[in-house]
Amino acid sequence: MTLDWQRATEVAQSITAQWQGEGQPGGAIALFDGNQLRALSCGGLADLAQGTPFSADSVVRFASVTKHIFASLVTGPLAEVIALDDRLAQHLPQLRGPSGQVTVGQALDMTAGLHDLRETLSLLGLSVYNATQSDDLLAFVAALDKLNYPAGSEISYSNTGYRLVEEALKAKGILFAERLQQHICQPLDIHLFAPETWFDIVPGLVPGYWRSDSGWQLASAGLHLSASGSVAGSVRDLSTWLQTLLRDEGPGRGVVARLTAPRQLTDGRVTGYGLGVAHSRFGDAHWVGHGGSHAGYKSYFLLDPQRGVGLALVANREDVSTYDCALRIMAALTGQALPQPGHALMPGLYVAENGSEWLEISGNNACWLGATETLYPSEDGAISLSSHLPMQLRQKGTVIEGEIGHATKRFVLPHRDDSLAQAQGRWFCPEWRSEWVIEGDRLVMGIGPSAPVASLECLGQGRLLATAQDGPWEKRFALHIEGNNMTFLLNRSRVVTARRGDVHWA
């Protein structure tokens, strides 16, 4: 198994070189085997105001790369405290509905059907900048005790499962930040941090940035951080931890085996997502890793356990396609050919034959309920390579059918009608003191001058497609009107319903 470290390093350097332009944020890429760092490549600035170069020791927010670290503790040092087969209600009795019947394992493997809190709050009109606290969020989840789909029936990414498992441990007096230090940082002499809010002081943390029409902007976020994405650190210290996983020793002993063990839907089908790690298979290669995305920060790690090699990438800029970068580097290192994007599907906007969903085919991408995946040719159509949102789609005349998230789908061309006219007026969710106003092709969400505004497009049969801007991100979601009820749908949140007409606030 020949490894081409030079070629992999050249690919990594070509990526970081793109961040070297004047006044740009940057990042760092580390290549390693189990015993040593083979290459470090850095580019761009860690702090645009100070002009500080980005280095291997620059501290960034790992975002969802946190998940595999948390899962390693849950399945290792904390396994006697909480088990994967436990129901969440055993540890959080306030979850009295379907959320409480979700198992810990389902909460961590993306099959739980739990709505993503950040996405749900955005549908209520809260922006990425609105600050929230952990106790309030737990009470919110307990009160809005609905699932996107029956637990175990499909797979779709959500951060809420990790938050709830962390809350279950916290209820027993076990804090993630403390166990991170005890079981990982102290034994390895590395510096990782798990702040609870964006505003906590993190030693060495560099700012994150996103590019607006007027140039680079400082990024921030208000959502209370959780074990779904709270950890911050440098690419050097992240690599030290990942090397212990490859060596299968010390704090990393047994971690890869535990996190990559097959996970199943309730019907027995095996998914491609483990516990905080995603499987990527190309030819004879089997790689595991995970990405992270916070406002202004991107990260990814990718391991080839069979060959005992890996890489870690961190950046303090929003525009990095980390998964593509990681695949290119690993392919160069191992000599593995990557599939080329493409498909034969008919471009355009589609709607579910029955139900509220929409699908858009554009270029090499498929966007379903706001989640976009790159498509690749398959024997009878197109597939995505994502383990947390697998797609298998094929064209049948003007119909697209197949599976998304392992759930059967069938999409047809939309027939425009008077749905937009039917939607005009005020809509309310009294439980959460939320209001939406539709005037013409505009949807106003929230209050005062901070209220987000979305543009609306008719999809027919009571369905509308809304497009809004939420900080650095464009958000596209569906509205489905049935009588006096209107349901909001994002791929990660399908539980918000509003009612038409006058309302008396509780």
Mean pLDDT of 412-438: 94
CB 485 within 8 A of CB 111: no
Task: Dump pLDDT digits (tens) for 108-135.
Answer: 999 999 999 999 999 999 999 999 999 9
Q: Which of 62-66, 146-150, 319-323, 430-434 has the lowest mean pLDDT?
A: 430-434
DSSP code, position 487? E
pLDDT at 249: 97
CB 387 within 8 A of CB 278: yes
Task: Dump pLDDT digits (tens) for 163-199.
Answer: 999 999 999 999 999 999 999 999 999 999 999 999 9
Residue 237's nearest CA partner among 195, 180, 166, 308 is 180
Task: Break the chain down into helix, strand, coil percent, rounded to 5.
Answer: 25, 35, 40
pLDDT at 502: 65
C-alpha neighbours within 13 Å on the C-beta side of residue 483: 4
pLDDT at 172: 98
| Cα separation, 492 vs 475, whole angstroms | 12
Contacts of 279 (CB under 8 A, 6+ apart): 260, 272, 273, 286, 287, 288, 387
Mean pLDDT of 429-433: 91
| Cα separation, 464 vs 489, whole angstroms | 10
449 — pLDDT class (breaks 50, 70, 90): confident
Within 92-207, residue ranges assigned H as helices are 104-109, 117-123, 134-143, 160-170, 176-180, 186-188
Task: Dump pLDDT digits (tens) for 63-79.
Answer: 999 999 999 999 999 99
DSSP for 311-345 reads EEEEESBTT--HHHHHHHHHHHHHTPPPPPP---P
pLDDT at 473: 87
* pTM for the structure as a whole: 0.96
Could you tell me the two tokens for 244?
């212990």
447 — pLDDT class (breaks 50, 70, 90): confident
Residue 98's nearest CA partner among 155, 158, 167, 144 is 144
CB 248 within 8 A of CB 259: no
| Cα separation, 455 vs 86, whole angstroms | 43
Mean pLDDT of 275-290: 93
Q: SS3 for 11?
A: helix
For the cut 70, the answer to whether the pLDDT of residue 434 exceeds it is yes
pLDDT at 149: 97
pLDDT at 503: 56
| Candidate ranges 29-33, 378-382, 427-431; pick with highest mean pLDDT | 29-33
Share of the chain above pLDDT 70, in %: 99
DSSP for 428-479 reads EEGGGTEEEEEETTEEEESSGGG--EEEEEEEETTEEEEEEEETTEEEEEEE
| Cα separation, 52 vs 45, whole angstroms | 6
Residues 312, 318, 319, 324, CA torsion sign: positive
Give how far Cα 392 sits from Cα of 384, 403, 417, 445, Å. 7, 5, 30, 34
CB 343 within 8 A of CB 85: no
CB 351 within 8 A of CB 368: no
pLDDT at 48: 97
| Secondary element (H or E) of residue 481 | strand 473-482
Task: Dump pLDDT digits (tens) for 9-56.
Answer: 999 999 999 999 889 999 999 999 999 999 999 999 999 999 999 999
pLDDT at 1: 67
For the cut 90, the answer to whether the pLDDT of residue 96 exceeds it is yes
pLDDT at 448: 86
Residue 255's nearest CA partner among 245, 263, 247 is 245
Mean pLDDT of 243-250: 98
CB 111 within 8 A of CB 154: yes
| Cα separation, 67 vs 204, whole angstroms | 22
Q: Can you give the length of the chain in residues?
A: 506
**Residue 212 or residue 504, greater confidence:** 212
Contacts of 214 (CB under 8 A, 6+ apart): none
Mean pLDDT of 444-450: 88
Backbone angles phi, psi at 333, to 5 degrees: -70, -40
Q: What's the chain's average pLDDT?
A: 96
For the cut 70, the answer to whether the pLDDT of residue 370 exceeds it is yes
For the cut 60, the answer to whether the pLDDT of residue 203 exceeds it is yes
CB 68 within 8 A of CB 256: no
pLDDT at 168: 98
